[in-house]
Structure 1
């Protein structure tokens, strides 16, 4: 008799735990979409809003990169700016190195790191050496001068098309590495 009650109790507990785990998976899982939003939930508490925003990072007399946005919402306590319709130009020793643009971005005004994402179409990164990189989400780490993403990436240029998942780009050496599921195709040069 007691065994039957214990079995039923354990079965009921198992069903409740399974339902709870299912709920967590549905509500907390990342759907794998590459179009991440970098805008916070509470955007109404911005300390300032700026139209035609420009932020320039320099080292000595040289401009390293420049961020321009149609609109910025500044959060001073978090040292953060939320950007809409963003264009970023990165410069190297020889001048302009690459440009990229996105629907939205986040700039950490203290560390100078930024994130950039697009909702529907890929971010297009055009390098001075003639390569085009496409992905939906990019992160710039200023201290290491690196761009990276865990998302799907396509690189086109000089008769090659490289696709895969994940990218690490070292801007100082102009080296880009696709991290996983790499496929290289020879395509007609355009």
Structure 2
């Protein structure tokens, strides 16, 4: 009789321990988000996708590109790299620098032309600042251009207009229309 009670108590205690352990595991699993998938489905057109990108190139003219982006997608057939949250640092052969930033960028790997869109800014080494919502860099002419409203400001002046051509080699800015200027700058 005593042996049967001991066996019963032992079985009940073991079952209770198993049930408590199962309950703890079940409660621990509730509320946990599923693990993120390691692979993200990409478009068939994308050959490569990379996060936290840093790309540097020195061109034939001696100009150095440095492109930083949160993500980049490369489409080989289109010779196109697409960037999110992009920063482009151009170092001219004379040492002058221009930093361009924007929400999105498209870089033609064949022509070396680039477009940047969304909250676009350009800052020169001497502090001149340009803002617009879209710009294009034309590698053949070493110029930055836009057909959108643009504001240029520095310590002494603020100039706004619609459309701009900025020659990087000549360091010459041309605003194309609706030009307004005021002194005082930033």
TM-score normalised by L of structure 1: 0.70
- Please say if residues 104 and 117 of structure 2, whose CA atoms lie closer than 8 Å, have aligned partners that are also in contact: yes
1:40 equivalent in structure 2? none
Q: Tell me, which stretches of 5 or more residues in structure 2 are unaligned?
A: 1-41
Q: Tell me, which stretches of 5 or more residues in structure 1 are unaligned?
A: 1-42
1:162 equivalent in structure 2? 159
- Secondary structure class of the residue paired with 1:95: coil
Q: CA deviation at 1:64?
A: 2.3
| Relative contact order higher in (CA < 8 Å, ≥ 6 apart) | 1
2:53 equivalent in structure 1? 53
1:115 equivalent in structure 2? 115
Runs ≥4 in structure 1, deviation > 6 angstroms? none
What per-residue deviation string (whole Å, max 9, x for no partner) do you get for residues 120-167 of structure 1?
xx3121111321101010100111101000000000013111001001
2: distance between equivalents of 1:52 and 1:143?
A: 28
- Please say if residues 148 and 168 of structure 1, whose CA atoms lie closer than 8 Å, have aligned partners that are also in contact: yes
- Secondary structure class of the residue paired with 1:129: coil
Cα 1:150–1:61 change in 2 (3 A) is closer
- Secondary structure class of the residue paired with 1:77: helix
1: distance between equivalents of 2:99 and 2:138?
A: 16
Q: 150-159 or 54-63, which moves further after superposition?
A: 54-63
- Please say if residues 56 and 63 of structure 1, whose CA atoms lie closer than 8 Å, have aligned partners that are also in contact: no
Does 2:43 align with 1:44? yes
Report the count of equivalent residues: 144
- Please say if residues 82 and 105 of structure 1, whose CA atoms lie closer than 8 Å, have aligned partners that are also in contact: yes
2: distance between equivalents of 1:94 and 1:101?
A: 22
- Secondary structure class of the residue paired with 1:136: strand
- Please say if residues 57 and 64 of structure 1, whose CA atoms lie closer than 8 Å, have aligned partners that are also in contact: yes
Q: CA deviation at 1:102?
A: 0.8
RMSD over aligned Cα, in angstroms?
1.8
2: distance between equivalents of 1:155 and 1:112?
A: 25
